[in-house]
């Protein structure tokens, strides 16, 4: 095959070690390739990135000299596809996947406590110790990757031996409900969700707009609550702020205790990284730990991802994890993340947060609130995407880039002067990035 032949040709041009370590592991994906596109599958992300960074040009050049056609090179990791396939086949009509199992490592012992999460941690622990007796429901809310799911599972793990515990995301709850309805067995559903001792429901914000499921959840809630059974819920926002949620549910969610989780401070981030290294038996120098904590966003899931990547990479090439390697992996990660952020996503996030319409942001309205939202979108777009000022001007239908640079200046001033404004911008950036990393 041509793709393989090209690799053989590349072999002649590069050090043998490089070939053995990276190139040899690629397989040519004939199905996805075209006359002007060559697709290779790498066994993992490290090899993929390595080849992408070092050999794309060479490969492209070899193709062109061989076929006379200018060829783009794409290096994919096989893993992603495999995962996709697995999740697809794991969506059968049977409800066995509807409430996932409690994840054993998500315990209170493994949860690092700092001032950002102390309140939620303490509340969760009290509920775990005395289910149904202290706060009912317990409602935990906060941004992506800050430990909400971890705390839910911790409550589950704490009680799993003595009590009937159900953990489900609200989507699983919904799917389960629909499944039982279709099979004319709503009783089976009720038997399950209304007869447990502890009901842990994750990401309740996705109830929004789902009227039938809200109705069912309302009754589930009431029955459990009357029986003194513990209910714990999580969400990305305070119940009051969840749009499309019935008032009667909102008010019930406020009956017990509402606890928020904030992004971790630097020391907590460092402690969490150390904990993750210990649990995964990974050795990282103090210098690297500090670097990661200082240069990464507060999404712990992402930080964990980078640690695991670093470790896998160093195992793969049989080298110690160095600061340079950490810097490389981090910058790759940032680039990958940027790819997933579109201007439309930014408009969407800012619009919904500031309560204006997306179309208004792109309009020429001089209304103060809209103009403010527009400036924020411009600033976020400049800092989170590779778009140039002229490109942004075009996107907003502005005459030229001076309006963009004016908006940038204004936002920078506000960030300097106004602490609340600065916080808002950080929060929005965090949300946009989290959305993007969920997609990747």
Residues that bind ligand ADP (CB under 6 A): 106, 110-112, 117, 144-150, 272, 275, 300-301, 304
Measured between alpha carbons, how far apart are the two ends of the chain, in Å?
Answer: 31
Residue 340 tokens read as 């997933």
Q: How many residues bind Mg ion (CB under 5 A)?
A: 2
- Least Å distance, CB 301 to ligand ADP, is 4
Q: Which is nearer to ligand ADP, 278 or 418 (CB)?
A: 278
Site for Mg ion in 147-206 (CB under 5 A): 148-149
Q: Report, in angstroms and rounded to the nearest whole number, the Rg of the chain calculated over CA atoms.
A: 25
Residue 379 tokens read as 């600033």
Q: How far is 59 from 67, CA to CA, in rounded Å?
A: 12
Q: How far is 160 from 156, CA to CA, in rounded Å?
A: 6
Q: Which is nearer to ligand ADP, 157 or 387 (CB)?
A: 157
Q: Which is nearer to Mg ion, 152 or 310 (CB)?
A: 152
Residue closest to ligand ADP when measured from CB atoms = 147
Residue closest to Mg ion when measured from CB atoms = 149
- Least Å distance, CB 333 to ligand ADP, is 15
| By the rule CB under 5 A, 434 interacts with Mg ion | no
CA 375 from centre of chain: 26
Contacts 24+ apart (CB under 8 A), 320-325: 321/282, 321/283, 321/284, 321/285, 321/288, 322/288, 323/285, 323/287, 323/288, 323/291
Q: How far is 266 from 406, CA to CA, in rounded Å?
A: 33
Q: Which is nearer to Mg ion, 231 or 347 (CB)?
A: 231
Q: How many CA atoms lie within 13 A of 302 on its CB side?
A: 29
Sheet holding 165-169, edge to edge: 165-169, 198-202, 230-235, 138-142, 257-261
- Pick from Mg ion, ligand ADP, none: which does 50 bind, CB < 5 to 8 A by kind? none
- Least Å distance, CB 116 to ligand ADP, is 8
Residue 262 tokens read as 């904030």
- Least Å distance, CB 345 to ligand ADP, is 18
- Least Å distance, CB 149 to Mg ion, is 3
Compute φ and ψ for 185, nearest 5 degrees: -135, 55
- Pick from ligand ADP, Mg ion, none: which does 300 bind, CB < 5 to 8 A by kind? ligand ADP
Site for Mg ion in 99-158 (CB under 5 A): 148-149
- Least Å distance, CB 434 to ligand ADP, is 8
- Pick from ligand ADP, Mg ion, none: which does 147 bind, CB < 5 to 8 A by kind? ligand ADP
Q: Which is nearer to Mg ion, 148 or 431 (CB)?
A: 148
Q: How far is 115 from 370, CA to CA, in rounded Å?
A: 35
Q: Which is nearer to Mg ion, 175 or 385 (CB)?
A: 175
Q: Which is nearer to ligand ADP, 214 or 299 (CB)?
A: 299
- Pick from Mg ion, ligand ADP, none: which does 112 bind, CB < 5 to 8 A by kind? ligand ADP
Cβ atoms within 10 Å of 409's Cβ, excluding its own: 12
- Least Å distance, CB 277 to ligand ADP, is 11
- Least Å distance, CB 47 to ligand ADP, is 25
- Least Å distance, CB 352 to ligand ADP, is 19
In 243-388, which residue ranges form alpha helices assigned H by DSSP?
A: 247-253, 266-280, 286-295, 300-317, 323-339, 343-354, 358-361, 368-384
Q: How far is 22 from 403, CA to CA, in rounded Å?
A: 47
Q: Which is nearer to ligand ADP, 117 or 385 (CB)?
A: 117
Cβ atoms within 10 Å of 51's Cβ, excluding its own: 22
Q: Which is nearer to ligand ADP, 153 or 374 (CB)?
A: 153
- Least Å distance, CB 206 to Mg ion, is 11
Sheet holding 37-42, edge to edge: 27-28, 37-42, 72-77
Cβ atoms within 10 Å of 53's Cβ, excluding its own: 12
Q: Which is nearer to ligand ADP, 160 or 271 (CB)?
A: 271
Contact call for residues 252 and 240 (beta carbons, < 8 A)? no
Positions that interact with Mg ion (CB under 5 A): 148-149
């Amino acid at each position: 095959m041509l793709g393989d032949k090209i690799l053989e040709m590349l072999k002649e041009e590069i050090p043998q070690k490089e070939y053995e370590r990276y190139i040899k592991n690629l397989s040519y994906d004939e199905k996805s390739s075209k006359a002007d596109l060559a697709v290779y599958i790498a066994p993992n992300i490290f090899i993929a990135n390595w080849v992408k960074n070092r050999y794309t040009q060479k490969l492209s050049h070899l193709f062109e000299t061989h076929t006379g056609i200018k060829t783009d090179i794409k290096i994919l990791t096989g893993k992603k596809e495999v995962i996709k396939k697995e999740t697809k086949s794991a969506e059968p009509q049977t409800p066995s996947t509807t409430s996932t199992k409690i994840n054993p490592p998500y315990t209170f012992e493994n949860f690092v406590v700092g001032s950002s999460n102390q309140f939620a941690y303490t509340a969760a622990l009290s509920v775990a110790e005395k289910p149904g007796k202290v706060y009912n429901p317990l409602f935990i809310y906060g941004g992506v990757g800050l430990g909400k799911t971890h705390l839910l599972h911790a409550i589950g793990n704490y009680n799993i031996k003595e009590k009937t515990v159900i953990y489900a995301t609200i989507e699983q709850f919904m799917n389960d409900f629909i499944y039982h309805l279709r099979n004319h067995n709503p009783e089976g559903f009720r038997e399950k969700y209304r007869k447990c001792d502890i009901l842990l429901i994750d990401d309740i914000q996705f109830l929004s707009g789902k009227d039938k499921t809200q109705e069912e959840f309302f009754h589930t809630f009431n029955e459990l609550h009357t029986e003194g059974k513990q209910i714990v819920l999580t969400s990305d926002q305070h119940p009051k702020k969840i749009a499309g949620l019935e008032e009667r549910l909102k008010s019930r969610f406020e009956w017990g205790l509402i606890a928020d989780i904030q992004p971790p401070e630097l020391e907590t981030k460092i402690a969490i990284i150390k904990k993750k290294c210990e649990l995964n038996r990974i050795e990282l120098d103090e210098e690297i730990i500090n670097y990661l904590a200082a240069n990464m966003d507060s999404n712990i899931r992402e930080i964990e991802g980078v640690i695991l990547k670093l470790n896998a990479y160093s195992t793969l090439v049989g080298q110690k994890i160095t600061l340079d390697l950490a810097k490389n992996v981090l910058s790759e990660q940032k680039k990958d993340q940027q790819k997933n952020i579109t201007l439309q996503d930014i408009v969407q996030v800012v619009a919904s947060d500031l309560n204006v319409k997306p179309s208004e942001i792109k309009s020429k309205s001089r209304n103060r609130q809209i103009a403010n939202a527009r400036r924020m979108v411009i600033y976020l777009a400049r800092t989170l995407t590779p778009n140039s000022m002229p490109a942004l001007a075009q996107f907003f239908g502005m005459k030229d880039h001076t309006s963009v640079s004016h908006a940038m200046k204004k936002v920078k001033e506000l960030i300097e002067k106004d602490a609340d404004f600065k916080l808002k911008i950080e929060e929005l950036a965090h949300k946009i990035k989290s959305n993007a990393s969920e997609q990747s």
